[in-house]
Amino acid sequence: MTRIAVIPGDGIGTEVIEAARTVLDAACARHGVSLSYTEFDWSCQRHEREGAMMPADGIETLRGFDAILLGAVGWPGVPDHVSLWGLLIPIRRAFRQYVNLRPIRVFEGVQSPLRVADDVDFVVVRENNEGEYSEVGGRVNRGFPDELAVQESIFTRVGVSRIADYAFELAASRRGYVTSATKSNGIVHTLPFWDEVVAERAALHPDVRFDSEHIDALAAKFVLQPQRFDVVVGSNLFGDILSDLAAAVAGSIGIAPSGNLNPEKEFPSMFEPVHGSAPDIAGQGIANPVGAVWSAAMMLEHLGHAAAAADILRAMETTLAKPETRTRDLGGTATTTEATQALVVALG
């Protein structure tokens, strides 16, 4: 039995996770996959009630699961750093989820803001554990005219090698092309090191074509020629920015999925839609369930159930193409429940 820890979280997180479970159950039933779910109410609501996003032994509790399915955490009144550092970041780090995987596709029926968006199908691989998001640094002379702030980035040979390897192996199973994001012309220590290590790993994958591009030029190409990319690998900061840009290029935050992966499977990986708790539409039953559903499909794939995952993707293609089975954020008319039922029907 495969054990899934479910953390619906806040706002529309609870609505889209319910939808994702419905679609997961239907896909699993067709393929004889059996999953057991344990639900945790870890959220900003819990923080307001008990002073913490999750219990002190939360990480230990999750350790025994095969995967974690998360809705969204964050709510007005609870600062972002509380929900991030109180739940998401400890999970990513404790379980060595060093890959943040964000597939990008423009589906038929989803309006991209770009004119050139046909055939967009790529994956952003973001380094998730080190890089620019470190706590090393500080501020001195607070409030004085000579006040200054310093923030260190941390790049390790192990960290860069493993994210690069993941990107090359993923590309080998796709169209065989990796683009690495850099800025070694301006940032003269860490990014030349990144470039060197990525190029060393590239040499071990002669079957995969490899390019390195400065982040500024790369951001422009995401907008001008998004169809040229296959796998794009970047540091924690660059990957964060590129993956949000990419989700915007694809036309909707409501369908974007993500996986926080521990590829070695020593620890559970975590799957979550890219969107947040969306307080502006929470409780109205109109949230787009597709981001959570696609995240659940990525979870199935990670757990070795590729056929069930592929069925869910096909069902998404079917329902997104028709206005009556997609939600309002995509110019459709369906409620969350209707869009979810349509996905179940499309699974056959």
Stretch that binds ligand ATP, among 106-114, 122-130, 136-144, 283-291 (CB under 6 A): 283-291
Stretch that binds ligand ATP, among 95-103, 241-249, 260-268, 271-279 (CB under 6 A): 271-279
User: Binding residue for ligand ATP (CB under 6 A) from 210, 291, 305, 334?
Assistant: 291
Contact status: 17 vs ligand ATP (CB under 6 A): no
Nearer to ligand ATP by Cβ, of 16 and 26: the residue is 16
Contact status: 277 vs ligand ATP (CB under 6 A): yes
Nearer to ligand ATP by Cβ, of 176 and 279: the residue is 279
**160 near 182, Cβ under 8 Å?**
no
Nearer to ligand ATP by Cβ, of 285 and 304: the residue is 285
- The residue annotated as part of the active site, out of 133, 165, 177, 322, is 133
Counting runs of H as helices and runs of E as strands, what totals does the chain give?
12, 12
Query: What does the alpha-carbon distance between residue 123 and residue 271 come to, in Å, rounded to a whole number?
Result: 15
Which tokens sit at 122?
A: 């790529």
Query: What does the alpha-carbon distance between residue 309 and residue 347 come to, in Å, rounded to a whole number?
Result: 11
3-state secondary structure of 178: strand
* Other CB atoms within 10 A of residue 168 CB: 21
Nearer to ligand ATP by Cβ, of 110 and 202: the residue is 110
User: Binding residue for ligand ATP (CB under 6 A) from 288, 295, 325, 341?
Assistant: 288
Q: Is 80 a catalytic residue?
A: no
Distances 176 to 31, 108, 169, 317 between C-alpha atoms, Å: 30, 24, 9, 24
Q: Please identify which residue in the block is written with the tokens 């968006």.
A: 117
Nearer to ligand ATP by Cβ, of 130 and 272: the residue is 272
- The residue annotated as part of the active site, out of 98, 166, 183, 311, is 183
Query: What does the alpha-carbon distance between residue 80 and residue 165 come to, in Å, rounded to a whole number?
Result: 32
Contact status: 100 vs ligand ATP (CB under 6 A): no
Contact status: 9 vs ligand ATP (CB under 6 A): no
Which is nearest to 152 in space by CA: 131, 128, 126? 131
Stretch that binds ligand ATP, among 27-35, 186-194, 264-272, 286-294 (CB under 6 A): 286-294
Q: Is 329 a catalytic residue?
A: no
Which is nearest to 261 in space by CA: 312, 292, 308, 295? 295
Residue 49 burial (CB < 10 Å; 0-12/13-18/19+)?
exposed
DSSP 78: B
Residue whose C-beta lies closest to ligand ATP: 276
**Interacting residues with ligand ATP (CB under 6 A):** 12, 16, 72, 74, 253-254, 275-278, 280-281, 287-288, 291, 329
Residues annotated as catalytic are 133, 183, 216, 240, 244
